[in-house]
Amino acid sequence: MDSLIVDEGHFHLLNKVLNDNDVLEKFKTFLKMSFSEENLAFYFDMHEIKVFEHRGEKDLEKLKLHVLSIHDKYYKEGAEFELNITCDMKNRVNEQLQEILKKEVMEPTILLQIFEDSLCQIIEMLKFDSIPKFLRSEPELAKKLLSALKDANVSGTHFSRNKSPRKPKSRKQKLSSE
Protein backbone atom coordinates (compact mmCIF):
# COMPACT_ATOMS: atom_id res chain seq x y z
CA MET A 1 0.00 0.00 0.00
CA ASP A 2 2.82 2.44 0.84
CA SER A 3 4.37 2.02 -2.64
CA LEU A 4 1.00 2.90 -4.15
CA ILE A 5 0.92 6.10 -2.10
CA VAL A 6 4.46 7.00 -3.12
CA ASP A 7 3.65 6.28 -6.75
CA GLU A 8 0.50 8.39 -6.54
CA GLY A 9 2.51 11.30 -5.15
CA HIS A 10 5.08 11.00 -7.93
CA PHE A 11 2.36 10.79 -10.55
CA HIS A 12 0.79 14.00 -9.26
CA LEU A 13 4.16 15.74 -9.08
CA LEU A 14 4.91 14.83 -12.68
CA ASN A 15 1.50 16.12 -13.76
CA LYS A 16 2.00 19.35 -11.81
CA VAL A 17 5.36 19.93 -13.51
CA LEU A 18 4.02 19.10 -16.98
CA ASN A 19 0.95 21.30 -16.63
CA ASP A 20 2.56 24.45 -15.28
CA ASN A 21 4.33 26.28 -18.12
CA ASP A 22 6.78 28.13 -15.86
CA VAL A 23 7.75 24.98 -13.98
CA LEU A 24 7.89 23.00 -17.22
CA GLU A 25 10.36 25.48 -18.73
CA LYS A 26 12.60 25.15 -15.64
CA PHE A 27 12.30 21.36 -15.86
CA LYS A 28 13.27 21.41 -19.55
CA THR A 29 16.33 23.50 -18.72
CA PHE A 30 17.24 21.11 -15.91
CA LEU A 31 16.91 18.09 -18.20
CA LYS A 32 19.04 19.76 -20.85
CA MET A 33 21.77 20.48 -18.29
CA SER A 34 21.60 16.89 -17.02
CA PHE A 35 21.73 15.47 -20.57
CA SER A 36 18.37 13.75 -20.37
CA GLU A 37 16.09 16.04 -22.35
CA GLU A 38 15.26 13.20 -24.74
CA ASN A 39 12.96 11.66 -22.14
CA LEU A 40 10.66 14.66 -22.00
CA ALA A 41 10.84 15.19 -25.77
CA PHE A 42 9.84 11.54 -26.29
CA TYR A 43 6.99 11.92 -23.81
CA PHE A 44 5.61 14.90 -25.72
CA ASP A 45 6.09 13.25 -29.11
CA MET A 46 4.20 10.22 -27.85
CA HIS A 47 1.45 12.50 -26.59
CA GLU A 48 1.27 14.01 -30.06
CA ILE A 49 1.09 10.59 -31.70
CA LYS A 50 -1.74 9.63 -29.36
CA VAL A 51 -3.71 12.44 -30.99
CA PHE A 52 -3.64 10.41 -34.21
CA GLU A 53 -5.20 7.52 -32.34
CA HIS A 54 -7.88 9.57 -30.62
CA ARG A 55 -8.83 11.43 -33.79
CA GLY A 56 -9.21 8.11 -35.56
CA GLU A 57 -6.60 9.17 -38.11
CA LYS A 58 -7.39 7.52 -41.43
CA ASP A 59 -4.26 8.61 -43.32
CA LEU A 60 -2.12 5.54 -42.68
CA GLU A 61 0.78 6.88 -44.75
CA LYS A 62 0.92 10.04 -42.65
CA LEU A 63 0.84 7.94 -39.50
CA LYS A 64 3.60 5.64 -40.80
CA LEU A 65 5.79 8.66 -41.57
CA HIS A 66 5.22 10.02 -38.09
CA VAL A 67 6.04 6.67 -36.46
CA LEU A 68 9.18 6.34 -38.61
CA SER A 69 10.30 9.85 -37.65
CA ILE A 70 9.88 8.98 -33.96
CA HIS A 71 11.85 5.79 -34.52
CA ASP A 72 14.67 7.69 -36.26
CA LYS A 73 14.71 10.41 -33.62
CA TYR A 74 14.80 8.16 -30.53
CA TYR A 75 15.73 4.58 -31.44
CA LYS A 76 18.38 4.72 -34.15
CA GLU A 77 21.91 4.09 -33.00
CA GLY A 78 23.59 7.48 -32.45
CA ALA A 79 20.38 9.51 -32.89
CA GLU A 80 20.53 13.01 -31.41
CA PHE A 81 17.80 12.10 -28.91
CA GLU A 82 18.56 8.38 -28.54
CA LEU A 83 16.63 7.02 -25.57
CA ASN A 84 18.46 5.52 -22.64
CA ILE A 85 16.46 2.28 -22.58
CA THR A 86 17.53 -1.34 -22.48
CA CYS A 87 18.96 -2.93 -25.62
CA ASP A 88 16.26 -5.59 -25.38
CA MET A 89 13.55 -2.96 -25.51
CA LYS A 90 15.22 -1.13 -28.39
CA ASN A 91 15.60 -4.39 -30.34
CA ARG A 92 11.98 -5.34 -29.64
CA VAL A 93 10.76 -1.98 -30.99
CA ASN A 94 12.96 -2.33 -34.09
CA GLU A 95 11.72 -5.87 -34.75
CA GLN A 96 8.06 -4.97 -34.21
CA LEU A 97 8.34 -1.96 -36.47
CA GLN A 98 9.95 -3.96 -39.28
CA GLU A 99 7.34 -6.69 -38.93
CA ILE A 100 4.45 -4.22 -38.99
CA LEU A 101 5.80 -2.29 -41.98
CA LYS A 102 5.97 -5.50 -44.04
CA LYS A 103 2.21 -5.92 -43.82
CA GLU A 104 0.03 -4.44 -46.51
CA VAL A 105 -2.96 -3.94 -44.24
CA MET A 106 -2.61 -2.79 -40.66
CA GLU A 107 -4.53 -1.16 -37.90
CA PRO A 108 -3.24 2.26 -36.79
CA THR A 109 -3.50 1.23 -33.13
CA ILE A 110 -1.04 -1.63 -33.69
CA LEU A 111 1.41 0.78 -35.27
CA LEU A 112 1.11 3.11 -32.29
CA GLN A 113 1.45 0.38 -29.66
CA ILE A 114 5.05 -0.50 -30.50
CA PHE A 115 6.27 2.43 -28.38
CA GLU A 116 4.07 1.72 -25.33
CA ASP A 117 6.67 -0.17 -23.26
CA SER A 118 9.28 2.50 -23.93
CA LEU A 119 6.84 5.20 -22.93
CA CYS A 120 6.09 3.42 -19.66
CA GLN A 121 9.81 3.15 -18.92
CA ILE A 122 10.38 6.83 -19.74
CA ILE A 123 7.48 7.92 -17.52
CA GLU A 124 8.93 5.86 -14.67
CA MET A 125 12.32 7.55 -15.19
CA LEU A 126 10.70 10.96 -15.19
CA LYS A 127 8.63 10.24 -12.06
CA PHE A 128 11.25 8.50 -9.96
CA ASP A 129 14.54 9.94 -11.20
CA SER A 130 14.28 13.23 -13.08
CA ILE A 131 11.51 14.91 -11.05
CA PRO A 132 13.13 14.18 -7.64
CA LYS A 133 16.54 15.41 -8.86
CA PHE A 134 14.93 18.49 -10.37
CA LEU A 135 13.07 19.31 -7.17
CA ARG A 136 16.21 18.84 -5.07
CA SER A 137 17.89 21.39 -7.35
CA GLU A 138 14.97 23.81 -6.83
CA PRO A 139 14.16 23.66 -3.08
CA GLU A 140 11.76 26.63 -3.08
CA LEU A 141 9.86 25.28 -6.05
CA ALA A 142 9.78 21.84 -4.42
CA LYS A 143 8.22 23.33 -1.28
CA LYS A 144 5.61 25.10 -3.38
CA LEU A 145 4.70 21.99 -5.40
CA LEU A 146 4.67 19.68 -2.40
CA SER A 147 2.53 22.16 -0.50
CA ALA A 148 0.08 22.29 -3.41
CA LEU A 149 -0.08 18.50 -3.43
CA LYS A 150 -0.62 18.44 0.32
CA ASP A 151 -3.45 20.97 -0.07
CA ALA A 152 -4.92 18.72 -2.76
CA ASN A 153 -4.72 15.86 -0.24
CA VAL A 154 -2.08 13.88 -2.16
CA SER A 155 0.39 12.31 0.21
CA GLY A 156 3.31 9.98 0.08
CA THR A 157 6.13 11.84 -1.62
CA HIS A 158 9.00 13.19 0.41
CA PHE A 159 12.25 14.65 -0.83
CA SER A 160 15.33 15.44 1.16
CA ARG A 161 18.36 17.30 -0.10
CA ASN A 162 20.63 14.24 -0.29
CA LYS A 163 18.34 11.29 -0.71
CA SER A 164 16.05 9.91 -3.32
CA PRO A 165 12.32 9.85 -2.70
CA ARG A 166 11.33 7.76 0.26
CA LYS A 167 8.16 6.19 1.47
CA PRO A 168 6.46 7.85 4.42
CA LYS A 169 6.97 6.12 7.73
CA SER A 170 4.10 4.07 8.99
CA ARG A 171 2.56 5.00 12.33
CA LYS A 172 4.31 2.00 13.91
CA GLN A 173 7.72 3.10 12.53
CA LYS A 174 7.18 6.65 13.80
CA LEU A 175 6.35 5.43 17.31
CA SER A 176 9.34 3.07 17.45
CA SER A 177 11.78 5.82 16.40
CA GLU A 178 10.59 8.22 19.12
Q: pLDDT by residue (tens digit) across 55-107?
A: 665 677 777 888 889 999 999 988 989 998 989 999 999 999 988 888 776 67
Boundaries of domain holding 132 = 2-177
Kindly give, in sequence order, each residue whose CB lies less than 8 Å from that of residue 36, ignoring residues fewer than 6 positions away: 84, 125, 130
Q: pLDDT by residue (tens digit) across 12-43?
A: 888 889 888 999 999 999 999 999 999 999 99
Number of domains in the chain: 1
CATH number, domain containing residue 146: 1.10.167.10
CA 171 to chain centre: 32
